[in-house]
Amino acid sequence: MNEEKPYFQTPILYNAHRGISSRYPENTLVSFQAAADAGADVIETDARLTKDGVIVLHHDDSLLSTAGEERFVTKSTLGELSDLDFGYSFSADGGKTHPFRGKGIKILTLEEALVSFPASKFNIDLKDS
């Protein structure tokens, strides 16, 4: 154990990749809440910078796989991204159903995640484009 780095004092047994992204839209509040409720030791996520300089949690620069939009995080403002449905593209059954469409799932900022889950540890993959 390293007393100088308390983050590493507890072994990581359960690393939740983008939250519980197999059952919930990745990198969203609902996915992170499910991970926290399941006892995840660490929530892995991806961070990107919006056009107006806000850090948001999103894996791809393209919004197609999450919000069904052919545009990019880095070319959008937080306001523009906040208008999109980040549950739109999620399907756990190969596209037969989309249970999170229209449920109000929004893009998550890094600040919102850290405030919402103060007891959680995060592994943040910084993306540059």
58 is catalytic: no
- Which of 17, 18, 58, 98 does the annotation list as catalytic? 17
Angstrom distance (rounded) from CA 69 to CA 89: 9
Residue 79 class from Cβ within 10 Å (0-12 exposed, 13-18 middle, 19+ buried)?
A: exposed
Number of other CB atoms surrounding residue 68 within 10 Å: 16
> Which residues have CB under 8 Å from 101's CB, separation 6+?
85, 87, 88
- Which of 18, 48, 58, 59 does the annotation list as catalytic? 59
Active site (catalytic) residues: 17, 59
